[in-house]
Structure 1
C-alpha cells in the first residue's frame, strides 16, 4: 500500500501565512516529506514574481511548476493570472492539491491543474511537446541531495520550448549543485537575477541555447 499524505479536515492545524498578489495565503506543511515542506527558495521566487509584474506579466500565460511541493509558487502565479499546471510526485499531491484548492478557489481566473510528474519518466506521454506549450517553467529548490539530477535535466529540456522562460530559485548546499548548474549551462542560457548570500539562494532566468527540432515545436 502506498503511503500518501492527506491533510486532516477536522483537527487543529498549524499554518504558515504569507501575503502575495495582495491576498493572504495559508500553507499547510507536512514534515513527513521533504517535498511537502516550504523552503525559502519558493518565497524568494514568489516575491520576485509579485514585485516584477510589469516585466514578467503572467496574465493568461501557460505556466508549469515542477517540484511544486506545498504549492506556494503555483498559488501565487495563479493569483497573478496564469494558467498553471502544478506537478510533483504522487505522495506529495494530496498536500499540494489541498493547499492549491484552499488558496485559489474563487480567487483566480484560471483554476490551476494539479497532476503527477515524475522527472524523466514518460514525460513525452504526459506532456507531449507538440501540444503542451509553456510560456514559463517555475522551479524552486528542485536541486538538492537526490539521485535524480539527470532526470531533472531531461525534464527541463523536454518542457522548455524555444520561447519558454525558466525561472529557477536555488539554494546552494553541496558541490553537486554547482556541478548541475555547469551541466545546465550547456543546454540553457543562464542569467542571474538575484543573489542572496545570507540565504545562499540565487534566482536564475534561463532559455534554450539550441532550438527544438521542427517536429517537436508547438504550432505558432
Structure 2
C-alpha cells in the first residue's frame, strides 16, 4: 500500500534571542507531523512530496525499517537550509550526510556523499537517483558507512575533505554513539561545519550533546519548541 503527502518548506522564521531562529511553531510543526515518521505495521511503502527552491522532490520510504522512514528532524534541517541560503549556500561545496535514511537533505545538494547502513542503501539509492537526475552537475555518491569502522581506509583524510557534514535524528534509538563521535571527528577537518538536527525525546540526547561539546565547538542555530527539535552547528576548535 502507498500513501502520498506534500509539504512546501518555503517561508521564514522569526528571529529569536541571540540570533537563534525560532520557527513559526504551530504551522511548521503541523506540516511536519502530517508526514509519516515512524515504522508502520500497515503500510510498507509511503511516498512523500516536497518542494525546495521550486524543485519537486518525491521520497519513497520503507516503513518496516527505522532508518528508511522520514523523521521530523530531516524536514527541519531542510527547512533551515532553504531559508538560510545566504549563510549556508552549499552549491559547489563537498557535503557528507551521515545516517541519510531517505536522503531528503541530499537531494537538494550538488556534490554530496549520502551514507547509511547496508540495509538502508537500496531505498536511499533509489531516492537519490530519482530526485537528482538531470538536476546535478555532479554525480551523487551513495555508500555504506558503519560508524567507527574502516574510516581511514574508506575515507582517508588526505583526500576526503568535507565542507559540511549533515545529520538528522542520528542519536535516537542508536547504540553506537561513541562510534558516531569518532566518525564525526574523523570527517571534520579545519573548515568543516557540522549541521545536526535532533529531536529531544529522552535523556540520551542531552548526554550526547554534552559529549559532543567536549570535542567540538557548538552553537544552537534553530529551535522548534513544540516538537523538541533543535538544530546545531559544530566545528573543530
- Per the normalisation by structure 2, the TM-score is 0.80
1:50 aligned residue (82, 85, 105): 82
**Matched position secondary structure for 2:226:** coil
Distance 2:65 2:100 in 1: 13
Match of 1:66 in 2: 98
Distance 1:124 1:193 in 2: 30
Moved over 2 A (4+): none
- Aligned CA-pair RMSD: 0.9
Match of 1:93 in 2: 121
Distance 1:93 1:143 in 2: 19
How many residues in Structure 1 have an aligned counterpart in Structure 2? 193
**1:58-111 Cα shifts (integer Å, max 9, x gaps):** 1110000000000101102x2xxx310010000000000000000110112222
Distance 2:92 2:112 in 1: 9
Match of 1:149 in 2: 177
Contact 2:193–2:233 (CA<8 Å) still a contact in 1?
yes
Distance 1:190 1:100 in 2: 29
2:153 aligned residue (104, 125, 129): 125
**1:163-198 Cα shifts (integer Å, max 9, x gaps):** 100000011111111111101001111110111111
Contact 2:164–2:193 (CA<8 Å) still a contact in 1?
yes
**1:126-177 Cα shifts (integer Å, max 9, x gaps):** 1001110000000011011221000001001100001100000011111111
Match of 2:38 in 1: none
Distance 1:176 1:207 in 2: 21
Match of 1:23 in 2: 55
Distance 1:195 1:100 in 2: 28
**Matched position secondary structure for 1:25:** strand
Deviation (angstroms), 1:14: 3.8
Distance 1:197 1:50 in 2: 19
